[in-house]
């Protein structure tokens, strides 16, 4: 496992995960519903560490999403876990 993942790298991965979710109406709809957010709130919350951690934690709840995102991002799933941990999860 890449234990050298910096907080900045974890944040960047969370932004990438948010873009992945936003790229599919069903995925982003489920995330927004679970988070209790309106679509308009995404931009204002995007810089918040708690929000970014929530993005990663949501992604980690579905093995298929994890596989799809990791394939797209070129990372191993354990990197997602490490990033969530770096952000306080």
- pLDDT tens digits along 55-86: 999 999 999 999 999 999 999 999 999 999 99
What is the model's pLDDT at position 40? 86
Give me the number of domains the chain comprises. 1
Taking residues 40-69, report their average pLDDT. Answer: 92
Residue 42: inside a domain? yes
Residue 64: inside a domain? yes
Residue 2: inside a domain? no
Rounded Cα gap, residues 60 and 41, in angstroms = 22
- Model confidence at 36: pLDDT above 60: yes
Residue 17 burial (CB < 10 Å; 0-12/13-18/19+)?
A: buried
What is the model's pLDDT at position 15? 95
């Amino acid at each position: 496992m890449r234990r050298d993942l910096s907080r900045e790298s974890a944040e960047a991965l969370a932004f990438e995960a948010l873009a992945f979710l936003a790229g599919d109406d069903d995925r982003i709809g489920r995330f927004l519903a679970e988070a209790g957010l309106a679509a308009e709130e995404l931009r204002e919350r995007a810089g918040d560490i708690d929000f970014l951690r929530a993005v990663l934690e949501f992604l980690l709840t579905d093995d298929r999403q994890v596989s799809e995102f990791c394939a797209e991002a070129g990372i191993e799933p354990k990197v997602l876990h490490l990033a969530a941990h770096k952000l306080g999860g």
